Structure 1
Amino acid sequence: MHVSDDLMTDQQHLPEPRAGEKPPPGDGSTGERATGERPGGKPKKTPFRGTGFLRLWTGETLSLAGTEITFMAIGITAATTLAATPWQMGVLEAAESAAVLLLGLSAGVWADRYERRALMLVANVARGLLLFAIPLLFWFDALTMPVLYGVVFLVGAFTLLFDSAMSAYLPRLLPRGQLERANSWMEASTSVGTVAGPGLAGLLIQVVSAPVALVVDCFSYLISCFTLAGLPKAAPAPADPQDGKGEGDGAVAGAGASAGEPEPRESHRKAVLKGLLVLRDDRIQRPMILAATHFNIFHAMFFAVHTLFVLRVLGFSPGLLGATSMAGGVAGLLGASSTPFLTRLFGQGRALVLAYAAPGVSAVLVPLAEQWDNRALSIVLVSASTFTWTFAVVVNLVISETVKQSLVPDHLLGRVTATTRFVSWGCQPVGALLGGWLGGRFGLAEVMYVSAAGLLTSALWPLLSPVRALRGTEGGESEADDAPAGTTAASAGTDDDPRPKTAPPTEP
């Protein structure tokens, strides 16, 4: 599981609505929200009914299930039907990462430039058609490894486009106070898909063969399209002409719709560069992206040797390893449902610090299991490590996505999401290669201890920065909870911006 979408913005700079001001109606994408009012005028906490979120969640869940089936079925097709060599399997695995590295930044620009519901529909249709090509070519005896490389690359690219558009679309459906709960639902679906997806894929492959199983997978994407088609459109908000001219927090927080005429469309290169500059220049966002990148390097290093250690050193069977990994699915559900409570208890910033530190502690449990010749204890330690690790990562993802969607200007959300993934996921091959090399030179357990220390120290980035002071928006802390989350900054004019004119210190 990746820690990737970790864009944080200082909530002390959150603009408050002007007296008597109503949230802008937008383009119809937020008009279905059913927030209600209490007698005193305070926003009433309501379920997601009437917001369109349940449709989006259903479409995302079906898309996730399809993705889990896709990559397992393609891998088994390569190994069994095409008798792929280890090198070919490695290239196939790298094809998905190549999509993130080559197209990740562009996907963010497209998600900010074009209507987002349409992009999600296009991504689902494209993935369904690409996957249908595999059984079709199989039936005509024309399926080859280069074809699988191309399909995996393109499916990975369209998955990135879907995710970037979906992340930027969600704040147009819900008020800020409901985003944390909505992201908890999304991460719960991911956790269930991670556990149930491979099992469903295995059952389909056992019954109808791997290439034919992809036909069933195609239908998951098509059904997702029908679900998403009922959602309102959500064109991105126009960019502020002043956007990008300031520095630090002001360059991001002050971005929004301008009262003047919109500037001509910026070039693709300039749009990509703006997403990178947002992450580089803001003193809140910068430590968060560095924390995510730091974490993912050691995450990849740890899991490069994890399977070998558990199977060869601890003597687990593949079935037992799979059974212990199911603890991660349970942990993901609990983590997603517990995040609102944890943010109320600790605040978002402190909860993030703990979420970064916990996997480093849990990683030590796996090599420690070697110290005792006790199979039952080894199973408990490996399961506990998986449980704690997954719980913490899901909490991290829910909080990070919520803050990003709440405070990043609408016209930058797609680029911020894709750029964060580009930077933090792009480093993982380095960690995996380093882990494999160190494991062969010094030993598997030694690599796991080094990885644990690296994971633990990733918590220093949010701890030693203003990120630790972030607060939650769940529970009505903000008076602007009824405002569309993605339009918070966009609705504030440059002259009337009520944010403090002086920022807190860059370093604690």
Structure 2
Amino acid sequence: MTRGKLTAYPDYLRFWVADTVSLVGTYVTGLAVQVLAVVNLGASATALGVLGGARWLPYLVVGLVAGVLVDRWRRRPILVTADLIRAGLLGLIPVLAATGSLTMTVLIGLMVVFGLFSLVYEAAQLSYLPRLVPAALLTRANARMEQTNSVAQAAGPMIAGWLVNVITAPMAILLDAVSYLVSGLVLRSLATEEKAAPVEHRHLGRELKEGVRWVYRHRMLAPLALGSHAWFLFNGMVSTVMVVFVLNELGFDAFALGVTYAFAGVGGVLGASLSGRFKAGPTIIAGHWFTPLGYGLIPLATNGTAGLVVLCLGQLLFGFSIGFDGPAEMGFRQSVTPDRLQGRMNATIRSFNRGMIVIGAPLGGALADALGNRTAMWIAVGGLVVQAVAITCTPLRHASIQE
């Protein structure tokens, strides 16, 4: 067995397959829910921002608790259960739409519950991966998953745009429900052994504090976490405003919007293919700079073919930033954190990251309604430049993966 190859670890391969199946559906739903809100339910930019933040609200409210529970329990059953529940929740949307019972309030409520189980799933997923491959392969393993994510991001929105036009947004969301069902069944087949934490000495408050202290007192993790929080705040603003900007102001349809997202996926594939070739610190910092570079093109777009090209180029650079930065960031976080703290470390960082979307998405929508779409996006791009400067000046630039 060649231990330097990911193919030597069959459970990782099944884990990767499950993630791939659900990711394609996730990107279909990501676009379909937004189109459903704007076109079918007549949502304003502010209402769309509230919807965008709803999915991430549980991360802000109970994210740290989820990290404690993931560190206490076996992670594979958590992954399977979360997938099956999310399949059921998404399956409700076409049913409610068909009966005339779907409103913005109901849709927002469903996204909150969906976000709760996504929170639990992601905390367990990120904490389970280090059990499947050795530390030396973590960056490579994360890069492969990031490449898959980018391919799904490239294909999913275009498929979603086509499906929305052909079978309507609710039915496109139904396909995502099926993908979560398939993912759960594949994850159920994993055989990697894991043990739950000892029952004695459990104390929720102490465990929460231990996870938070680990992240925000760590010389490298602290600036990484704070930089990520700022990145998610301003990204939440841009991603919300862009939907209204493209559909309403520029007059493109759902398929064109999906095409722009597809270019982000292409950029992600390119970025992930280069991510493991450099030290973690410089890779992470470069990724934080590519985001405002890409997003700075979006408010320059106009209608027509030229505008669509500008949007696609902006999304290409944005996707490259995620693909280039993500695997190095995740591999570094996993390599410096002991197994008993993996769940809390991941939940702490992701909870506050997603919490920033809860703030950024409605803030971006409100600024767009008050000041215009382009002005709101320029404000967010300025914030992204500030966070890039700040993280460049921290010790994170010297970070490297510990094997």
Please give the alpha-carbon distance, in whole angstroms, between the structure 2 residues aligned to 1:146 and 1:367.
Answer: 30
Aligned pair in 2 of structure 1 residues 451, 71: CA closer, same or farther (>3 Å)?
closer
Cα offset, 1:364, TM superposition = 3.1
| 1:277 pairs with 2:213 | yes
Pair 1:362-2:308 in alignment = no
CA contact (8 A) 1:439 1:447 kept: yes
Classify the secondary structure of the residue corresponding to 2:400: coil
CA distance in 2, matches of 1:111, 1:443: 42
In 2, Cα distance between the equivalents of 1:297 and 1:138?
31
Structure having the higher helix fraction is 2
Q: Does 1:197 align with 2:156?
A: yes
Deviation, 1:116, is 0.6
Cα distance in structure 2, aligned partners of 1:311 and 1:74: 14
Cα 1:450–1:150 change in 2 (3 A) is closer
1:193-213 Cα distance to aligned partner (Å, 9 max, x none): 223223434555555555455
Change in Cα spacing, 1:227 to 1:378, as seen in structure 2 (3 Å) is same
The one-letter amino acid of 2:293's match is V
Matched, 1:112 2:71: yes
CA distance 1:216–1:427, shift in 2 (3 Å): closer
Query: Which of 348, 355, 360 is matched with 1:431 structurally?
Result: 360
Are residues 1:400 and 2:329 paired?
Answer: yes
Please state whether the residue corresponding to 2:194 is helix, strand or coil.
Answer: coil
Change (3 A) 1:426 1:366: same
The 10-residue stretch of structure 1 (151-160 or 430-439) with the greater mean CA deviation from structure 2: 430-439
Q: CA RMSD in A?
A: 3.3
Per-residue CA deviation, residues 334-355 of structure 1 (Å, 9 max, x unaligned), is: 11122122x2xxx211121111
**CA displacement, residues 24-66 of structure 1 (integer Å, 9 cap, x when unaligned):** xxxxxxxxxx445xxxxxxxx2242334111000011112233
Name the SS of the counterpart of 1:235 in structure 2: coil
CA distance change for structure 1 residues 234 and 201 in 2, over 3 Å: closer, same or farther?
Answer: farther
Structure 1 gap segments, 5+ residues each: 1-33, 37-44, 239-261, 479-508
TM-score by length of 2: 0.85
Contact 1:116 1:236 in 2 (8 A): no
> Please, which of 446, 449, 465 is the counterpart of residue 394 of structure 2?
465
Distance change in 2, residues 1:106/1:455 (3 Å): same
- Do 2:241 and 2:364's aligned partners in 1 also have CA atoms closer than 8 Å? yes
2:310 & 2:170 partners in 1: Cα distance? Answer: 37
* Maintained 8 Å contact 1:187/1:336: yes
Match of 1:317 in 2: 252
Q: Distance in 2 between matches of 1:135 and 1:323?
A: 24
Q: 1:205 to 1:99 in 2, by over 3 A?
A: same
Paired residue for 1:68, among 16, 24, 27?
27
Deviation at 1:159, TM superposition (A): 1.4
Q: TM-score, normalised by structure 1?
A: 0.69
Shift of residue 172 of structure 1? 0.5
Task: Give 5+ residue unaligned stretches, structure 2.
Answer: none
| Aligned residue runs from structure 1 range 127-276, under 5 A | 127-135=86-94, 147-204=106-163, 209-235=168-194, 238=197, 264-276=200-212
- 1:436/1:88 CA distance change after superposition, 3 Å: closer
| Deviation larger for 142-151 or 265-274 | 142-151
Deviations 1:164-186 (A, max 9, x none): 11111111010112111111121
- State the secondary structure of the residue aligned to 1:180: helix
Decide which moves more: 213-222 or 48-57. Answer: 213-222
With 351-360 and 94-103 compared, the bigger mean Cα shift is at: 94-103
* Counterparts in 2 of 1:333 and 1:292: CA distance versus 1, 3 Å: same
Partner amino acid, structure 2, of 1:328: A
Question: In the alignment, does 2:282 pair up with 1:350?
Answer: yes
Write the distance in 2 (CA, Å) between the matches of 1:193 and 1:288. 26
Aligned counterparts of 1:273 and 1:297: Cα–Cα separation in 2? 24
Cα displacement (A) at 1:441: 5.8
Q: Specify the SS of the correspondent of 2:7.
A: coil
Residue 444 of structure 1, CA deviation: 4.8
- Indicate how the Cα distance of structure 1 residues 140 and 464 shifts in structure 2: closer, same or farther if over 3 A, else same: closer
Identity of aligned residues (%): 32
